[in-house]
Structure 1
Amino acid sequence: MNSLFESFYGGGALLILWGALITNLLLPIPTTLHPIHWWRQIAELVSNKVNQANASASQQTLAGTLALALLMLPALAVLLALEPLVWQQNLYQLALLILAMDWRNTELFSRQLIQFMSKEDKTETRRLLEQKCNRETTSLSLLGLGKAGAETMILSFSRQVIGVLFWYALAGGIGALFYRLLLELARLWSPYKPRYQHFSSATHHLFILMDYLPQKLFSMLALLGSSVSVIKQSLIQSKAWHNHATAWLLTGYGNKFELSLGGPAMYGEEKLQRARIGGKVAPATYHLAQVHKHLSTRLYIWLTLQSLILVVIHQGF
């Protein structure tokens, strides 16, 4: 038992993981004081300066690529340069993982969404979704709010928790925070927003590259225990979904709970014609609660598996 504990402590990765989780849940950083908030502000200022509406598509693409490099390369350089200078490596990795993870706010969003939907409070539900997703929410009906809410909840947990944990396991706190910073740029400069259609090209493709593997792995975990027909239908529908990284995940949840997801979505003044996926049931309060419970269960399974993998790795070393 003592040697096992020493292997945990010697590597430190497992203690960092659970330390970050506990800190994130018990002592969350206020949104307006979080460095991610200021990162988004800086990114918006940069895009406003260099993303010219009257520029050609190729010029906007080049400007977006340079803006991505301008933000991400110095951020990565600073994170790497600070690592050998800090007094305690484990505390540095812990701090980076705490900054990268957003479990508490995602959990709070889910509970508020379910609460507002149960009261059929369209005003508060629209306001809540407006903070989390890029699409236009002001004209959404309860049906539209339910679909948008279910999709946003699924993607928030899978990216702001699972994606961060995956990259922590692969590349430590630096990898986790790099992924989260790129996620924020990809959301802010979404290619589905008309003004960023070309500007976001490099950011979108780099994020899809980093997001692909954690989403696929979590999709397989989410579909675990599903019937053959659900898995088969999910795989068929995923071919028509516009984002190949999240296709299995959204079609999987849609078919597992027979929920109607996807369909047209407004981004500014433009309507994106997305594929209709899942079943035929309009997501309501009960279904959102089901999805939330299932996501929470799968998150704990992921944590258990990742913890066991870290134990095996540290024992091996």
Structure 2
Amino acid sequence: MNDLISELSKPQLFAIYSVIIVVCVEKWLVLPEKMHPLTFARLIAQGMAYKVSSRQSGNALQQSIAGTLAPLVLLNPFIVVLALLMYLAEYPIFFESLLLFVALRFKPIISLCQKIHKALSAEKKALARQQLQNMVLRQTASLSALGMTKACIESLLLRFSHQYCTVIIVYLVGGGIAALTYRLLFEFSHSWHCRLPRFEYFGKPVRRLMGCIQYLPARFASLSFMLVQSTGAAWRVFVQKSVLKQTRFFILNGQGAALGVQLGGPVYYAQDKLRLAKCGGSRLVRTDDISRTVLVIQRAQWVFLMVCIIVSLLLNIGS
């Protein structure tokens, strides 16, 4: 028994303990949107982007260079200050946990999806569109109830991978500063999304970086999701080599197949129509599929956390 306690008391395991605590706290303690540091960072990113970016012919290289330098200009002073505070902190693990709490912020997405489901169930389409616009970049003004349902589910699945699972994995690998840096880059890539005409070139550098970071966590997120909502079609999609290159399609195809609903299809960004491949299952989405997806995601969160705990114990106990 003493040996087990000694093994579990290793400092190397403090990171996974802090993840468990922060995940539980984040579900019950939600900071208001206006008070959250990520909101401030998002506003700064939008302000910088609109000053230095424009969609003019012949300036693609200039915009790409600006899009590469912008995150460095915004993040470098911030990272230096955090590193100094971490160095001076008497209990660094507490500071690391605080940074993870700021970076995680997934509960409001779940709550927003539940509000959208409630509005659509009550046939309040205008309210549903207004709420949906807070979590997607696509144009929502012309979306039908089916289109809003599909957009809500797609956004939830993608955010579970990028905004929840990736943040935790980056934290376990690189600590609190790395996790918060990733989350800020995620917010930048969302604000400067290259599918928006204004940021076609400006947003590409940070978008490519996000693609590299999110590649492996997306696979673990999909695995956790499929362990909760398992179907033969989903597992066949999971092992297909042809879908491993494009992370977005991989997530929607596999998890859509697990849910048995069809995702993807044409999307409008501003006035530009983008034809995305249809994927997932064969059945068209229904309003109730939002609540079903939320339930599966909530269970998959715990499955993913258990996988992280098991891997951390295997890597550290006995070493």
TM over 0.5: yes
Match of 2:97 in 1: 94
* Equivalent position of 1:36 in the other structure: 38
RMSD: 2.2
Contact 1:237 1:251 in 2 (8 A): no
Counterpart residue number, 1:176: 179
**Residue 232 (structure 1) aligned with residue 230 (structure 2):** no
CA distance in 1, matches of 2:134, 2:312: 35
Partner of residue 15, structure 2: 13
CA distance in structure 1 between the partners assigned to 2:247 and 2:84 by the alignment: 31
> C-alpha separation between the residues in 2 aligned to 1:310 and 1:177?
21
Q: 2:188 & 2:210 partners in 1: Cα distance?
A: 9
> Is 176-185 or 252-261 further displaced after alignment?
252-261
Distance 1:122 1:35 in 2: 31
Do residues 156 (structure 1) and 165 (structure 2) align? no
Identify the range of structure 1 (199-208 vs 100-109) with the bigger mean alpha-carbon deviation.
100-109
Q: Is 1:4–1:315's contact at 8 Å kept on the other side of the alignment?
A: no
Deviation per CA, 1:168-219: give whole Å up to 9, x if none.
1111212211111111011100011000000011111011111111001212
> Which residue of 1 is the match for residue 76 of structure 2?
73
Partner of residue 289 from structure 1, selected from 272, 286, 291: 291
Report the AA paired with residue 175 of structure 1.
A
Instruction: Give CA-to-partner distance per residue, 1:103-133, whole Å, 9 cap, x none.
Output: 2212212221222222222112111110111
Q: Distance in 2 between matches of 1:290 and 1:178?
A: 32
User: Partners in 1 of 2:82 and 2:296 — Cα distance?
Assistant: 35
Whether contact under 8 Å (2:7, 2:318) holds in the other structure is no
* Higher mean C-alpha deviation, range 122-131 or range 278-287: 278-287
The 8 Å contact of residues 14 and 307 in structure 1, kept in 2 or not, is answered as yes
Deviates more, 1:124-133 or 1:63-72: 63-72
Give the counterpart of 1:190 among 175, 188, 193: 193
Structure 2's unaligned 5+ residue stretches are none
Partner of 1:108: 111
Instruction: Output the CA distance in 1 between the equivalents of 2:37 and 2:76.
Output: 17
Q: Does the 8 Å CA contact 1:235/1:248 hold for their aligned counterparts? A: no
The 1-side partners of 2:155 and 2:253 are apart by: 14
**Residues 41-76 of structure 1: CA deviation (Å, up to 9, x unaligned):** 111111122113336111111111111221233333
Measure the CA separation in 2 of the matches of 1:226 and 1:136: 32
Please state how far the C-alpha of 1:137 moved relative to its aligned partner. Answer: 0.7
Count of aligned pairs: 315
Quote the sequence identity (%). 28
Partner of residue 246, structure 1: 248
Alpha carbons of structure 1 residues 69 and 96: separation in structure 2 relative to 1, 3 Å: same
Q: CA deviation at 1:4?
A: 4.0
Structure 2 counterpart of 1:137: 140
CA contact (8 A) 2:170 2:178 kept: yes
**Structure 2 counterpart of 1:231, which letter?**
W
Give the secondary-structure state (helix, strand or coil) at the position aligned to 1:246.
Answer: helix
- SS of structure 1 residue aligned to 2:175: helix
Q: In terms of mean alpha carbon deviation, does 5-14 or 215-224 score higher?
A: 5-14
Residue 279 of structure 2 aligns to a residue whose secondary structure is: strand
Question: CA shift at 1:158, angstroms?
Answer: 1.9
- In structure 1, distance between residues paired with 2:36 and 2:162: 18
Alignment partner of 1:131: what SS?
Answer: coil
